[in-house]
Amino acid sequence: MGATAGTPGLLARHGFEAMASPCGIVVAGSPERVARSAIVAAEAEVRRIEQKFSRYRADTIVGRINAQAGGTPVACDAETLHLIGYADTLYRASEGLFDVTSGILRRAWDFRKAVLPTPQQLEPLLALVGWDQVERDGHRLRLPRAGMEVDFGGFGKEYAADRAAGVLIEKGIRHAIVNLGGDVRCVGTQPDGSPWQIGIQNPRDPNSNIASIPLSHGGIATSGDSERYFDLDGVRYCHILNPQTGMPVRYWRSVSIAAPLAIAAGSYSTIAMLMEERAKDWLDSSGLGYLLVGPDGAITKRDAPSA
Amino acid sequence: MKFIRLGSLLLALGAAAGCSSLTPVQPWEKGNLARPEMTFESNVLEEKFVEHIYGSKENASGGNGVGGGGCGCN
Amino acid sequence: MNFLPEQHEAAELMPDADHRSSGRGLGGAILLAAMALPGLMPAAHAENAPESAEIGIRYLDYKDSSRMLDGSGTAGAYAFGNPGVQDRVKVHAPSVNFLLPFAGSWSLAGSLVSDSVSGSSPRYYNSAPTRYFSEHRTAGDWKFTRYFARSSYAVTFVHSDEHDYSSRALAGTATFASDDNNTTWTVGGGYSRDKITPSGGGSDPVTGNSFSLERKYGRDFMLGLTQVLTPTDIVQSNITYAQGRGYFSDPYKTFDYRPRERNQFAWLTRWNHFIEDGPGLVKGTTFKASYRYYQDTWGVKAHTLSGEWIKPLADGWTVTPLLRFSDQGSARFYLDPDPTQPGFPPNAFWTPTAGVYQSADARLSAFGAVTYGGRISKKLGDGWTADFRGELYEQRGSWRLVGQGSPGLDPFKARFLQVGLTKKF
């Protein structure tokens, strides 16, 4: 309340690679020195999250939880406990479709080869999937069977985008946009009050956009079937897998959601992909703005009420 | 006495604001409120001049701040 | 299920999965859970501190008139031998102003104005022999503010100097905002000292003693509340109370004898409303309204209502029409012109008595006044903005709505123009 517009014309941009994606932070309306220092802190926060929750390293919290599957419970810090609580909410809100233990199913799918896995390959993996089996006791977590894994990759990028934006706000930045591989969160509007314009990639043509969505607060996240996939006999098999069948979802080409937080936008878009044709009614009852690309390429758009 | 009655009106307004039945406005909904024309501080200087004119041609003044001195304007 | 107490606590924050969205469509359980994650939406550091420095220049041009009617002895005709003479005061006031934020949570703001006032001012009412004058006034104000995340503290120093009047005032204000920044309280207090040294000296109307210096002291207090009501509505309500002691009379007006004390109360309420949706003409425009009630111990009660409508146009232009209406009752000791003594102040044949106050200053009469005009501004690029404001003002006894207007006074008219140029860094 009482904020005045920043100075138009001042712009600081920084591109970098993190979480296996091209990332960018734009800060507008602040003097160069202030903007640069805030961007450095925001990038550092993204890298901190990337390293803390990496499943590739044995010494991270996720690495230790996975290494101790079937063994002793692992003590978690406050941030991890919050994200575990959030993962639990997503599991229940999606009726079990969004499951952070379903990452091991990727072992059955090699998207560089157009080969479908056999039931013999999928069954043992499906037996190790199930968030409802995970044991939580106070601040400790235990995966009951060896071979089970948790993975926060389903909302890691969006969480990092929100945390990076939080760092920018604490540094006094009022007009900025954080883009981590297509998951976007903004701080304020552009300095002159106009919204940021976010391009939504065509799921069948990465070089073109199908829409430009004005964003004046919050974030936009997109889930789609063209991130990692192969096509076989005219059917697309994408990287978003149903945790109960182990098979890719096969309805929406892409789902973009606008929400007050990027992590919420990302969770809604992923769950919408998982819900397949049931998603539209579910999204309508959420009240959020969305842009859906259907199986035939048809676009359905809904503006959020206070956009 | 009238001053006290009217002063308690303001406190009542404050109490109403505190236990407002309106849903509190969230930070991400404040984009329009941040526009300069929607604040109460956007034309302070212009209005200061105009209030100075009214102060010397009318008898009523005040309501917007403290610590203004006087002048011999007539 | 292995859910434990912490989980149940979290569950209370989140409604069922099929909970319908709120009236503003915020989404359901997932969004609420996301909002519970720390660090994603922190309170902005020193949220109200200005972001950029600013300097500006401004020029005010003011002219008023209250034409005398030709002498005929009827009510309202005080021609005293000079039919048709136009009484007119002209003011030219260039000024500079600046705002300088520094160290992230401090700011210094200041302005300096140099008024050149000339013209003629009536000795009584607004249509009588006049005093011709030409004066110069220099005034400035300086405000030093410290900002915190949810509060701010400021000290303001104001000064004004002209050859027969000088004033100094010091005030402190503080603002306190709620955690959600939707409610802000403002408190303030100030103290002022004025010195009056009329040219040619003044004289006490009761004793006849002359004086060269008089003083006036003031204390004032303010309590205000600003409340965000909806994403497009914000309202502010302020109460101010001022106590003044000292010399209030006008030494240049004939037999002007006012009390040495005046307490003033004002209650101002303002409302800003942004029109988000609607026909193209009103979409994206802002409507602002304000009402002030005023009352003082001289018996004056006044109501002031004003409104403006801000319409942004293409290419950085903005146009704002505005309208103001003010209704004022007369001071207890204001004396209407005496129709049986045309051309003379009504107290010309009385002996002023101690404690029996009187004034023939039209400013203390009962009237209704209307201002209409507008403002145009243009963003020139690179942080420059130019603006122009023009207003027409008229004050008439017969325009009073709430009660009886003072009789026998000529309509008073004025026009004021302002032109300004500011640069933001």
Please give the pLDDT value at position A189: 87
* Averaged pLDDT, C389-395: 95
C268–B64: do the CB atoms touch at under 8 Å?
Answer: yes
C52–A7: do the CB atoms touch at under 8 Å?
Answer: yes
The distance of Cα C395 from the centroid of its chain, to the nearest Å, equals 17
Give the integer Cα–Cα distance in Å for A24 and A181: 8
| pLDDT over 60 at A64, yes or no | yes
pLDDT tens-digit map of A130-179: 999 999 998 999 999 999 999 999 999 999 999 999 999 888 888 999 99
Please give the pLDDT value at position C301: 96
Residue of C nearest to B71 (CA): C165
B35 Cα to chain C: minimum distance (Å): 9
Phi, psi for residue C200 in degrees, rounded to 5: 80, 5
Chains that touch B (3 or more CB pairs under 8 A): A, C
| pLDDT over 90 at A3, yes or no | no
C240–B66: do the CB atoms touch at under 8 Å?
Answer: yes
**What DSSP assignment string belongs to A194-220?**
PPEEEEEEETTEEEEEEEEEEESSSEE
pLDDT tens-digit map of A15-31: 999 999 999 999 998 88
Asked if residue C288 lies in contact with residue C308, where contact means CB atoms within 8 angstroms, the answer is yes
Residue of B nearest to A195 (CA): B31
User: Sign (positive/negative) of CA torsion A270, A274, A275, A279?
Assistant: positive
Residue of A nearest to B41 (CA): A2
pLDDT tens-digit map of A197-246: 999 999 999 889 999 998 988 999 999 999 899 999 999 999 999 999 99
Residues of chain A in contact with residue B26, where contact means CB-CB under 8 angstroms, are 260
Please give the pLDDT value at position A166: 93
Structure tokens at A267: 């969770």
Per-residue pLDDT band for C349 (boundaries 50, 70, 90) equals low
Please give the pLDDT value at position C275: 94
Q: Which residue has the tokens 């005010």?
A: C60
Percent of all residues in chain A with a pLDDT value above 90, rounded to a whole number: 80
- Closest to C368 measured CA to CA, from C308, C305, C417, C291: C305
pLDDT tens-digit map of C64-119: 877 644 334 333 433 343 444 455 789 999 999 999 988 778 999 999 999 999 88
Structure tokens at C84: 């048709």
Return all residues near C100 (Cβ < 8 A) that are at least 6 apart: C53, C107, C108, C109
Give the integer Cα–Cα distance in Å for C125 and C128: 7
Q: Which residue has the tokens 């004033």?
A: C167
Any CB–CB contact under 8 A between B25 and chain A?
no
* Averaged pLDDT, B56-73: 83
Residue of A nearest to B39 (CA): A2
ipTM over 0.85: yes
| pLDDT over 70 at C18, yes or no | no
| pLDDT over 70 at C127, yes or no | no
Any CB–CB contact under 8 A between B33 and chain A?
yes
